[in-house]
Amino acid sequence: MKTETSSSPRPLEVALLASVFVVAACGLVYELAAGALASYLLGDSVLQFSTVIGSYLFAMGIGSWLSRFFERQLPAHFLRIELMVALVGGALPAILFVANAFVPGAFRFLLYALVLLVGTLVGLEIPLVMRILRRNVALKELVSQVLTFDYLGALAVSLAFPLVLVPQLGLIRTGLLFGLMNAAVAVWALWLFRHELRNFRAHALACALTLGGLFAGFLGAERITTLAEDHFYQDRAVYTATTPYQRIVVTAGRGGHKLFLNGNLQFAERDEYRYHEALVHPVMSAHGAPKKVAVLGGGDGMAVREILKYPGVESITLVELDPAMTRMFSQQPALRRLNADALLSPKVHIVNADAFQWLDTTPGMFDVVVVDFPDPTNFSIGKLYTNSFYALLDRHLAASGYAVIQTTSPLVARRSFWTVVSTIESVGLQATPYHANVPSFGEWGFVVASHRPFSPTTQAGHLPPGLRFLNPQTLPLLFDFPQDMARVPAPVNRLSNQELVHSYEQEWGKM
C-alpha cells in the first residue's frame, strides 16, 4: 500500500491536525469542569479530582478499544461522535448544576455517568482521526503529529481553564463554549468530507440543530444558573461570582442576606452578629489594649467590623485569598451595609494572598490574630488547620497576644473540634476552647491560642458598647462545655496526613 511521505502537509492533513488540537482542548475542559463541580459540591478536592480523572481516563480507554469496530464510513462516524461530544460534554456543567439543585440525591450517579459517557466518546475521536489521516500520512509521522497536537491542546486549555475561562465565563458557559467548538469541528468535517458522506443533508441538519441548541444554551446560561441557584438556596441569588478558588453566592430573602461558598453557608444576616461577636470579642476584650490586629480569612469584613469597635486599634491586616470576596464586600452597597463599610476604613490593609504563604514570608507581630477560614472540607483548606500552619501563627503572635480560630461544631463534629485543640497544643501554644449557639449553624466552636493563660473578661468596661449577644456576665459561660461536647482523644492534624479532613467529612456526613 502506497503512503504519502511528502514533507509539505496537505490541506486535509492540516485541517484534521487542527481538529485534534480542538478535540484535545474540549475533552480536557469537560474533565476539568466535572472535577471542579464535584470538588465544589461534594468537597475533598483531592478525592473528587482523582476519581473523576480516573473514571474519565478509563472511559477513554474503552472508547479507544471500541474504535476497532468502526470500519467503514469513518468520516461519518467521526462527525456523529463530534456532535454527541458537543452536546453531552458541552451541556455537562449545566446538567450537573441543575441536578444538584433539583435532584441532589442523584448528583453523584449522574456525575460519573456523564463522565464515563463523555470519556468514551472522546476516546473514540483520536483513533478515528488517526485512521482517516493514515490515508495520506506515513505511520511514523502520523503518531508524532497527532500526539503533538493532542498535547498542545491539553496544555493550552489547562492554563486557560483556571486563569481565564472559569473567572470570565463561569463553568456553564465554559462547557457550552467548548461544546460549540466541538460542533464546529463537526461542521468542518462535514465540509471536508462532503463528497464521501451519505445523507449529506441529514448530517448538515444535525450540525445545525446542535449548534443552535448549544448557542441558545450559551445565551441563556445566566438564566440556567439563576434558576438552579434560586431553587438550591431557596432564596434569590443577588450576587454571584465564580473564581479560580470558589463559587461565591449571596442570596436575599425574608431572613436577610446569606453568604455561601461552594454551597456551604458562611453567614446569615439574621444571626451573624452572634457568630462574629463570639469570634472577636473574647480575645479583644481580654487583651486589654490591642493595637495591631490580623484577620486571616473573613473577606466579608464582618470580623473587621467588630474589631473596629475598639478605638485603640491602630491597624488591621486582612489576609483573604480571593480578591473577588473583598471586592464584592467593599463595593456592593447592600454588603457594605452589613459590614458597616469596614473594608473601607483607613485602618484596614487588605492583602489578597494565601494565608499560609503570607505567614511564612511576611515579618511582623500582632497583638490579636483572628482566624476565620471556612471549615476543612478539603485538603486545600485543611492545610490551614495543621500544626505547620499553627507553628507559623505562633511566630507572628506577640508574647502577650491572643489568636482565635473558628473551629466547626463541638456537638456535631466533636472529634474534629478537639483535633484542632490537640493540633494547636502540639506546637507549644495554650489552647482554650469555647462555644456559642448560632441558630443558622447550631452549636459552634472556637479556640483561643496563646503563650500565656487566657481568662475571659468579666468587666463591663472591657467590652465595647452596643453588643447584641455578649455581655460580661454571659461571656464566661461560653467556656463551659457540657458532657456531650467534652474533650475526647483526638490526633494532631499534620500537613502530611490531614486527619481533620477525613474526620470532618465522616462526622458531618452523619447529619
DSSP string of 418-463?
HHHHHHHHHTT-EEEEEEEEETTTEEEEEEEEESS-------GGGS
Residue 189 and residue 79: Cα distance in Å, rounded? Answer: 6
Nearest to 163 by CA among 178, 174, 148: 174
Q: Mark 195-220 as b/e (b = at least 16 C-beta within 10 Å).
A: eebeeeeebeebbeebbebbeebbee
Cβ contact 283:317 at 8 Å: no
Cell digits of residue 269: 444576616
Of the CA atoms within 13 Å of residue 491, those in its CB half-sphere come to: 12
What does DSSP assign to residue 470? Answer: -
Residues in a beta bridge with 249? 240, 260
Residue 330 and residue 348: Cα distance in Å, rounded? Answer: 12
Alpha-carbon torsion (193, 198, 200, 203), positive or negative: negative
User: Which residues, in sequence order, are CB contacts of 205 under 8 Å at separation 6+?
Assistant: none
Helix-strand-coil percent breakdown of the chain, rounded to 5?
A: 60, 15, 25
Q: How many CB atoms lie within 10 A of CB 116?
A: 17
Cβ contact 235:252 at 8 Å: yes
What does DSSP assign to residue 312? Answer: T
Q: How many CB atoms lie within 10 A of CB 496?
A: 6
User: Which residues, in sequence order, are CB contacts of 218 under 8 Å at separation 6+?
Assistant: 173, 176, 177, 180
User: Which residues, in sequence order, are CB contacts of 71 under 8 Å at separation 6+?
Assistant: none
DSSP string of 240-267?
EEE-SS-EEEEEEETTEEEEEETTEEEE
Would residue 480 show up in a list of annotated catalytic residues for this protein? no
User: Which residues, in sequence order, are CB contacts of 491 under 8 Å at separation 6+?
Assistant: 419, 422, 499
Among candidate residues 44, 150, 235, 372, the one labeled active-site is: 372
DSSP string of 380-421?
HHHGGGSHHHHHHHHHTEEEEEEEEEE---TTTSHHHHHHHH
Cell digits of residue 275: 457568630
Burial bucket for residue 407 (CB in 10 Å: 0-12, 13-18, 19+): buried
User: Which residues, in sequence order, are CB contacts of 50 under 8 Å at separation 6+?
Assistant: none
Cell digits of residue 113: 455517568
Q: Which active-site residues does the annotation give? A: 372
